[in-house]
Amino acid sequence: MQLIIDNLSKTYPGGVLALDKVSLVIPKGMFGLLGPNGAGKSTLMRTLATLQTADSGTVRLGEIDVLSEKTRVRQILGYLPQEFGVYPRTSAVTLLTHLATLKGVGTNSRDRREVVESLLDRVNLKDVRHKAVNTYSGGMRQRFGIAQALLGDPQLLIVDEPTAGLDPGERNRFYNLLAEVGESIIVILSTHIVQDVKELCTHMAIIDHGRVLYSGSPSEAESQVAGKVWYQSMTKQQLAGREWKQPILSTKLVAGRPMVRIYSETDPGHGFQCAAPDLEDVFFSHLSRA
Ligand code: ADP
């Protein structure tokens, strides 16, 4: 089953063009939707999750017309929104059982208990399942969010900016969980964090101002900029009085000194050295040329 998005457009009242003829083919596995804040990621995610409408275009998931057959989509959809909302003083078991009942999972309470226990085990919350979710850390909350999204065995899982605010250890645990889920279903992950896509995704798209700037695999994306990214460590004064004309992709402090990366099809001179391409360069090069 593939998700096929064709020419999807959306303008908000007030005139913001949030999606501009977006076309993407999304296969089974982990798909990363990468874009800066305001790019249109949440708009696309919410449209795919049947929570808002588009102005034009089509979306098909296998045989399902996603934009019109909302009930069918919801039966095979799992969604973890950017803001999951309230975390009550209820245990994970009780809350997930309640959500399972609402979603019509299982035919009786024993069935449901089994589903809930196995999901909490899968997301590694088994030991803390009787603790109230409002006491959970950010990473535990996100894993609980995945457990609720996996109720009912979805074929399509949509997760909107899930790693923002997680510490490195929590992020890793969350990556491992998503990677495992992505082995059998379509998982779409929206993020502004390049590392999320680099570590997890087999396919990706870069979007900005509602437009798809790139779609393909992360490794193809990197090979597109191979030999065209140049770097140099310099002083702040040298950076301020720059003598080269090519666009700066990024400036990062390395041991307190600016490390400048630029995009140039040919050797820019001025002491720059050719860099091994990185997905971050791809991201910034698309944004700087858009
Ligand atoms: P992202 O998730 O990539 O940060 P969004 O989809 O939230 O991007 O937003 C895309 C653009 O649409 C932004 O310019 C944002 O300000 C605008 N936007 C989002 N939601 C609304 C809304 N409900 N009404 C008007 N404009 C909106």
Q: What is the DSSP letter of 62?
A: T
Residue 241, ligand 1, Cβ within 6 A: no
Among the listed residues 208, 286, 290, 285, the one whose alpha carbon sits nearest the alpha carbon of residue 249: 285
Looking from the CA of residue 46, the nearest atom of ligand 1 is 6
pTM for the full predicted model? 0.91
pLDDT for the residue 290 = 64
Residue 15, ligand 1, Cβ within 6 A: no
How far, in Å, from the CA of 53 to the mean position of ligand 1?
A: 13
Parallel/antiparallel/unpaired status of strands 186-191 and 29-34: parallel
pLDDT for the residue 199 = 87
Q: What is the pLDDT along the chain (290 residues), one digit of tens a residue?
A: 899 999 999 999 999 999 999 999 999 999 999 999 999 999 999 999 999 999 999 999 999 999 999 999 999 999 998 876 777 889 999 999 999 999 889 888 899 999 999 999 999 999 999 999 999 998 899 999 999 999 999 999 999 988 888 888 888 989 999 999 999 999 999 999 998 899 899 999 999 999 999 999 999 999 999 999 999 999 988 889 988 889 899 999 998 899 999 999 999 999 999 999 899 999 999 888 76
Residue for token pair 């992709």: 249
pLDDT for the residue 1 = 87
Residue 167, ligand 1, Cβ within 6 A: no
Compute the distance between CA of residue 18 and CA of residue 15 in angstroms, rounded to an integer.
9
Looking from the CA of residue 161, the nearest atom of ligand 1 is 2
131 close to 93: Cβ distance less than 8 angstroms? no
How far, in Å, from the CA of 262 to the mean position of ligand 1?
A: 30
How far, in Å, from the CA of 97 to the mean position of ligand 1?
A: 33
Q: What is the sign, positive or negative, of the torsion defined by CA atoms of 79, 189, 196, 41?
A: negative
> Where does the chain have alpha helices with state H?
41-48, 70-75, 92-102, 109-122, 138-149, 168-181, 194-200, 218-225, 236-240, 279-289
How far, in Å, from the CA of 194 to the mean position of ligand 1?
A: 20
